[in-house]
Chains A and B, each alone.
Chain A
Amino acid sequence: MLHSFWPVRIVAITALLGLGCGSSSPPEAMGGPVAMRRLTAAQYRQAIVDAFGPEIEIVGRFEPDNRREGLIAVGSAFVAVTPSGFEQYEAMGNYIAKQVVSEVHRDRLVPCQPRSRTEPDAACTEAFLQRIGPGLLRRPLVDGDVQTRVTAAAAATELMGDFYAGLEVAVTSLLIAPDFLFRVEVAEAGPGFADGLRLTDISLASRLSYLLWNAGPDAALLEVAARSGLSDPDSLGREVDRLLASSRLEDGVRAFFEDVFRFDEFEDIGKDPIRYPAYSAQVALDAREQTLRVVVDHLIARKAAYRDLFTTRRSFMTRALGPVYVVPVRAEEGWEALDFATDHPRAGLLSHASFNMLNAHSGRSSPTLRGVFLREALLCQKVPPAPADVDFSLFNEDDNPKYKTARDRLAVHSSNATCRNCHKLTDPIGLGLEVFDGIGRHRSTENGAPIDTSGDLDGRAFADSVDLGRAFRDSPLIGACLVENVYRYAVGRDPVKSERRLLRYLEGRFEDSGQRLHALLRDVVMSDGFRTATRPRRDPAVEEPAPRVAALPAEKEAT
């Protein structure tokens, strides 16, 4: 068993050694296969805002996202559009198009007046398409994009006797185009890439922009890409720095952490009102936002070390969230900053209501769910799923007078050999958060019995939830996992074998930077892996995704 996990042990060793030896020069690494990723709901909404402004309403249901290996960013390359989903996209697109060409918005959005309100006007239609098309399709328009839509718009105008009805058809057509609904990446051969391909500048612009802003490239970036400017590392670097310096970086960072933290699951969360009368939909909404605010404030505004997110006393609060945290909130509306006192039992991300309510059941906390989340999302460790025939009856009996605390009940449950192996991974750290109930309110007892939150994280003992945060802060896996997640999120897939050395290099650079997110993002997008791709799989020379358990030569050398 240990053999199969050998590479990971090496990762840990290199992490513990500080990785300084790998930080000097970037390794050459060819990226994996390109992907065609469906826009997430947030990305779709942002595309509409960028193209038409925030006044345009978006009404409809999006196709459900697909989380794969922990990330929707990876799963989005493995989804299609179902027939009913297409109907939804068409209805949404049509409703958007109606608003865009309506009398309320047309003067602002349509750059020309038609010669006649009742007849086709190809020139005006083309001017309008040229204005909105590149932003929506994330590339310059080609003749086919324009001419087919000008023709369709003219036909609709003839039929309806209304120029703007024709424009509506043209806009709807753009909003259901595969090039809009999917981020289609294209790679090409190029000088210096004999063994693989490089992303086209246009594809690179999208990849870059979606990583840093969670939105398509702006006009400036598209302009640089259109003249092949991103092939030049200096020019690329300037654009990367521009995007990193923009306030829109917050959107990108939020989207990344929402994905890693699985915050899309807030859409389905529900709590027992009898057990948790303080819970409401607003509380859930604010809990989610609170965590994102802390992350953005810490990593972007303060440019602080990622590891310190696990111990920071800095937070933000609303009136709705105040009763969950039992703290006063002066601001009647909106958010206010808050620093928990040093003797307060809240410190770091792990004490946030968001994680603790999300990784819990509707009527009780769950050390196991919390432990699985911490292992998988924050330490990049895989916890096997529970067998289908596990008897949870005792554990669910949380009013059992004999086993008053979750620790008591789990001890009995885990005495079963089938359960023990997984629970020993999850429960010691999950039990460290038992002072937070199913919605993240602090408690010191359960059924009248004091809650013991001591435990150990892979050999590092901790005394309570605050100390658990310190253990996470000190874990060598925290930084390495973030690097891996950022990289996988950026390229939309698992790393291939040749990218392992690149990841080790990026980890070293991240540690050298003091775990600063800006530095990591810049290193990722400037890396070869981000900008290149392997040839299609049908090519015998293609590099398959790395088997997870295979040892790598470079890592063997590191031992």
Chain B
Amino acid sequence: MRNHDVSALGLLAALALACDSATLGGSEVSITQPPVRGYVMARWSEMIPGVDPGECPEGINIVEADQYPEQWATFMAARQRIRAAGGYLRWDDERLPPDACQDPLSQPDPGFLTLDGPATVYGLDLDGVVSRRTGSSGATCAHDDFVDHDGATGIDNQFWRLMGCVRGYRPNDLVDRLQESNVSIKEASYAILLEITGMDDAQNDDEIEVQLLSAGAPVAMNAVDDVMAHVSITAHENPRYHNAAARGRIENGILTTEPVDLRIKVKQQTSDNEYWLRAARIRAEVGDDGRIKGVVGAYWDIANLFSVLNDQNIGDRPQGRNAANARGFMCAGIYHAMPRVADGHPDPETGQCTSISTAIVFEAVPAFVIRTQVAMAE
């Protein structure tokens, strides 16, 4: 290696390049903002509200082991023996009552406690009115609206009415802890993607389109166990999960969209299913750091909700009864309770509502949504 004299060389190089001095200034560089901005969900959770005094004056819901104590005691003793011998006793074993998580009409309705009083929750005013059970509920079935944390009234979140007195959904209990640890994102086999098209100004833009779609792969985690930003994720191969784009706008940094139906692929732990969220709206804040935080308010189809809650399996072994027991409700009870609190999409013939308003709190980080040829054609 030679020991070059830098200053001498510099002088010579400068002399040699003097004729090019007009180009020495260089040019401004910038990263062009893509016409479509992609995001991947870093949080997606049914937010557990705080506790209001007297929310559940009749107590919380019982589980099947409380309703059928002798059969459960017999089953659990047998299960323990069989496990000790290296075997497995299925949750649809005949020692237990019929599995209402698979067939909700196989057991009588044990009753179900719902949260009937006022509460402060997260959500959106989906029906555009402040509804009262004793008064007008607009086009939907009668229900009482909530108040949002920011003071907004008319918040539709009948899902919380349904689950507010379920032990596992109470603050600091199972579901809350699971959501706190963000397993719905970290352990999901398919990430949830969001794309915004036509956003010229992140503060004010009166015409944008927002699309939610499922990915064909999970999120990538970074070195500190957060969802990695700026990853490329391929959209799910099934166009069923490429939902229609919703028209929207941004006003003073708040993004809102018009309603659109959503199907989102869910595969996590014992669940392999999809969300069917109807007339979903988004209200979100586009942050300076490139993140988006907000709420998806929607009507959750009750048949789909029952399936998501209870259709859980390990191979051909049903796990719904086990999951319901852990979370603190009886499948037969919740099945019959759902129509009572349903507030959306009334059946044209019977007037019975078929969906339950809900709110999902989300946070998304920038990502690149990659569409396959099939998806692009779709």
| Contact of A277 with B14 in the complex, beta carbons under 8 Å | no
| Contact of B224 with A458 in the complex, beta carbons under 8 Å | no
Q: Does B133 contact A (CB under 8 A)?
A: no
Q: Does A528 contact B (CB under 8 A)?
A: no
Q: Does B120 contact A (CB under 8 A)?
A: no
Q: Does B326 contact A (CB under 8 A)?
A: no
0/1 interface trace, chain B 210-252, chain A, CB 8 Å (1 if under)? 0000000100101110101111101000000000000000000
Known A8-B8, A11-B2, A329-B232; judge A322-B223 contact (CB<8 A): no
Q: Which of chain B's residues 1-15 have a Cβ closer than 8 Å to chain A?
A: 1-14
Most chain A beta-carbon contacts within 10 A, residue among B6, B17, B228, B229 = B6
Known A326-B31, A343-B30; judge A2-B370 contact (CB<8 A): no
Task: Find the A residue at minimum CB distance from B30.
Answer: A343
| Contact of B17 with A460 in the complex, beta carbons under 8 Å | yes
Known A11-B4, A273-B224, A379-B4; judge A464-B26 contact (CB<8 A): yes
In whole angstroms, how far apart are the Cα atoms of A13 and B14 in the complex?
Answer: 12
Most chain B beta-carbon contacts within 10 A, residue among A12, A274, A279, A454 = A12
Task: Find the B residue at minimum CB distance from A70.
Answer: B1
Nearest chain A CB to B99 CB, angstrom units: 39
Q: Does A332 contact B (CB under 8 A)?
A: yes
In whole angstroms, how far apart are the Cα atoms of A277 and B365 in the complex?
Answer: 14
Cβ contact of A323, chosen from B7, B8, B229, cutoff 8 A: B229
Q: Which of chain A's residues 98-156 have a Cβ closer than 8 Å to chain B?
A: none
Q: Does B134 contact A (CB under 8 A)?
A: no
Q: Does B85 contact A (CB under 8 A)?
A: no
Nearest chain A CB to B320 CB, angstrom units: 33
Nearest chain B CB to A312 CB, angstrom units: 16
Task: Give the chain B neighbours of A484 by CB distance below 8 A.
Answer: 1-2
In whole angstroms, how far apart are the Cα atoms of A323 and B27 in the complex?
Answer: 25
Q: Does A414 contact B (CB under 8 A)?
A: no
Q: Does A476 contact B (CB under 8 A)?
A: yes
In whole angstroms, how far apart are the Cα atoms of A332 and B237 in the complex?
Answer: 13
| Contact of B8 with A5 in the complex, beta carbons under 8 Å | yes
Q: Does B20 contact A (CB under 8 A)?
A: yes
Cβ contact of A460, chosen from B1, B14, B226, cutoff 8 A: B14
In whole angstroms, how far apart are the Cα atoms of A475 and B234 in the complex?
Answer: 43
Nearest chain B CB to A531 CB, angstrom units: 23
Q: Does B24 contact A (CB under 8 A)?
A: yes
| Contact of B20 with A474 in the complex, beta carbons under 8 Å | yes
Task: Find the B residue at minimum CB distance from A462.
Answer: B26
Task: Find the A residue at minimum CB distance from B8.
Answer: A9
In whole angstroms, how far apart are the Cα atoms of A381 and B10 in the complex?
Answer: 12
| Contact of B223 with A280 in the complex, beta carbons under 8 Å | yes
| Contact of A12 with B224 in the complex, beta carbons under 8 Å | no
In whole angstroms, how far apart are the Cα atoms of A512 and B72 in the complex?
Answer: 89
Task: Give the chain B neighbours of A277 by CB distance below 8 A.
Answer: 222-224, 226, 228
Task: Give the chain B neighbours of A242 by CB distance below 8 A.
Answer: none
Task: Find the A residue at minimum CB distance from B216.
Answer: A332
In whole angstroms, how far apart are the Cα atoms of A290 and B23 in the complex?
Answer: 30
Report how many residues on chain A are interfacial, defined by Cβ distance under 8 Å: 64
Q: Does A252 contact B (CB under 8 A)?
A: no
Q: Does B16 contact A (CB under 8 A)?
A: yes
In whole angstroms, how far apart are the Cα atoms of A484 and B3 in the complex?
Answer: 13
In whole angstroms, how far apart are the Cα atoms of A107 and B2 in the complex?
Answer: 53
Task: Give the chain B neighbours of A376 by CB distance below 8 A.
Answer: 1
Nearest chain B CB to A401 CB, angstrom units: 21
Q: Does B151 contact A (CB under 8 A)?
A: no
Q: Does A494 contact B (CB under 8 A)?
A: yes
Task: Find the A residue at minimum CB distance from B34.
Answer: A328
Task: Give the chain A neighbours of B11 by CB distance below 8 A.
Answer: 458-459
Report how many residues on chain B are interfacial, defined by Cβ distance under 8 Å: 40
In whole angstroms, how far apart are the Cα atoms of A4 and B29 in the complex?
Answer: 41
| Contact of A274 with B31 in the complex, beta carbons under 8 Å | no
Nearest chain B CB to A84 CB, angstrom units: 31
Nearest chain B CB to A229 CB, angstrom units: 35
In whole angstroms, how far apart are the Cα atoms of A425 and B5 in the complex?
Answer: 10
| Contact of B16 with A476 in the complex, beta carbons under 8 Å | yes
| Contact of B2 with A16 in the complex, beta carbons under 8 Å | no
Task: Find the A residue at minimum CB distance from B233.
Answer: A319
| Contact of A332 with B3 in the complex, beta carbons under 8 Å | no
| Contact of B16 with A463 in the complex, beta carbons under 8 Å | no
In whole angstroms, how far apart are the Cα atoms of A102 and B20 in the complex?
Answer: 67
Task: Find the A residue at minimum CB distance from B7.
Answer: A458
| Contact of A380 with B370 in the complex, beta carbons under 8 Å | no
Q: Which of chain A's residues 482-529 have a Cβ closer than 8 Å to chain B?
A: 484, 488, 494
Task: Give the chain A neighbours of B7 by CB distance below 8 A.
Answer: 458
Task: Give the chain A neighbours of B6 by CB distance below 8 A.
Answer: 375, 381, 425, 458
Task: Give the chain A neighbours of B8 by CB distance below 8 A.
Answer: 2, 5, 8-9, 12
Task: Give the chain B neighbours of A381 by CB distance below 8 A.
Answer: 2-4, 6
| Contact of B9 with A9 in the complex, beta carbons under 8 Å | yes
Cβ contact of B2, chosen from A323, A326, A380, cutoff 8 A: A380
Q: Does B368 contact A (CB under 8 A)?
A: yes
Q: Does A467 contact B (CB under 8 A)?
A: yes
In whole angstroms, how far apart are the Cα atoms of A548 and B5 in the complex?
Answer: 12
Q: Does A81 contact B (CB under 8 A)?
A: no
| Contact of A380 with B29 in the complex, beta carbons under 8 Å | no
Q: Does A95 contact B (CB under 8 A)?
A: no
Known A12-B9, A463-B25; judge A322-B14 contact (CB<8 A): no
In whole angstroms, how far apart are the Cα atoms of A91 and B360 in the complex?
Answer: 59
Q: Does A263 contact B (CB under 8 A)?
A: no
| Contact of B29 with A474 in the complex, beta carbons under 8 Å | no
In whole angstroms, how far apart are the Cα atoms of A462 and B27 in the complex?
Answer: 10
Nearest chain A CB to B291 CB, angstrom units: 14
In whole angstroms, how far apart are the Cα atoms of A344 and B29 in the complex?
Answer: 6
| Contact of A279 with B223 in the complex, beta carbons under 8 Å | yes
In whole angstroms, how far apart are the Cα atoms of A276 and B222 in the complex?
Answer: 9
| Contact of A458 with B32 in the complex, beta carbons under 8 Å | no
A sample of 16 more A-B contacts (CB under 8 A), given A9-B12, A322-B368, A330-B370, is A5-B8, A274-B224, A277-B226, A280-B223, A326-B31, A376-B1, A380-B2, A380-B4, A381-B4, A457-B10, A458-B9, A458-B13, A458-B14, A459-B14, A460-B13, A548-B2
Query: A residues within 8 Å of B by Cβ?
Result: 1-2, 4-9, 11-13, 16, 69-70, 273-274, 276-280, 319, 322-323, 326-330, 332, 341, 343-345, 375-376, 379-382, 425, 442, 454, 456-464, 466-467, 470, 474-477, 484, 488, 494, 548-549
Query: B residues within 8 Å of A by Cβ?
Result: 1-14, 16-17, 20, 23-27, 29-32, 217, 220, 222-224, 226, 228-232, 234, 368, 370
Pairs of residues from A and B, 10 with the lowest C-beta to C-beta distance, nearest first: A463-B26, A458-B10, A459-B14, A5-B5, A273-B223, A328-B368, A467-B26, A459-B10, A277-B222, A323-B230
Task: List 14 A–B pairs whose Cβ atoms lie within 8 Å, in order of A's numbering.
Answer: A5-B3, A8-B5, A8-B9, A9-B9, A322-B230, A322-B231, A332-B234, A380-B2, A382-B1, A382-B3, A463-B24, A463-B26, A463-B27, A477-B4
